[in-house]
Amino acid sequence: MQKLIIQVAINEYVTREQNPLVPMSIQEIAQDATDCANAGASIVHFHPRDPKTGLTRPADVAMYAEIAQRFRAKCDLIYYPTYGSEKRLGDQLTHVYELTTHPIGKLEAHLIGLAPVNLAGYDASKRRFLYDEPYASSFSEFIPFFEFCNKTGLKPFLIAYELGHIRAALRYREMGLLRDPLVLHLRFSDAHSFGPLPNADGIRSYLSVVPKGVPVQWFTQVYGAPHYPMNRLAIQMGGHARIGIGELAREPKSPRSNARIVESIVKQARRDGREIASTAEARKLLGMKTPS
């Protein structure tokens, strides 16, 4: 079986109250990324945080660049930012376009959700939806981004919340807008109402949409309690793992650092017969260029 790529969501929107080990400052995020690389991760995702309030600064190019400069001085890592807060997809990606050619914070990849989807929270005990969080973009809105990726070499990672999102990705591939391999993030949750159930059949249902002969690399990306079981399934089924404090703010037992979480996944992978991909090997598996 191919080597396992480990990706870490370093902080997302997690607060210190939820996990006292979540990295917040520029220095903490950069050091955490370095520690994750040393433990076996090859990709990191992080949200810059306001140094006074702790709130995310999703489009702060200078902060992304400084964090990247700090960890790149010590290790080789792929990183990608989060979205901007604007309504239009193109406006959400302004900082991505800037970072792709940035002399210090240069991007190699970016994760983009193939909307529409409603990330509505649900309270099972009260049998009611807590909130609505709809995302909607037309098919045509994605085309300029994919054209930009082909022009610059930026690798698009594609979020699938529903099976139809993979069908859309295949259409973009037919149009010559997506290059092989497709890199899919298969989203699951026990607290939301999108997508298949978080189990092995759910993974299979996503993958069943991909025709034979279409090269694909895939990660599980899981909200809530099924996080670790689903990553174990990804390891066993030939996929890759996305883990970290940003994915599961409250650990089942005591809080762990991101590096400790990576170490546990490395041990699990080796028990299941998979070796860990280096960052250079991850680039090759994902169809990414070697940075100059």
The pLDDT tens digits of the residues spanning 119-156 come to 888 888 999 998 888 888 889 999 999 999 999 999 99
- So where are the chain's domains? 6-285
CA distance 44 to 33: 7
C-alpha distances in Å from residue 272, one per residue of 66, 236, 237, 267: 37, 7, 10, 9
Pure H helices in the chain: 26-39, 61-72, 89-92, 94-100, 139-152, 163-174, 200-208, 227-237, 258-271, 279-285
pLDDT (0 to 100) of residue 127: 93
- Given a cut of 50, the residues of the chain with pLDDT beneath it are none
Give the CATH class of 6-285: alpha beta
pLDDT (0 to 100) of residue 86: 65
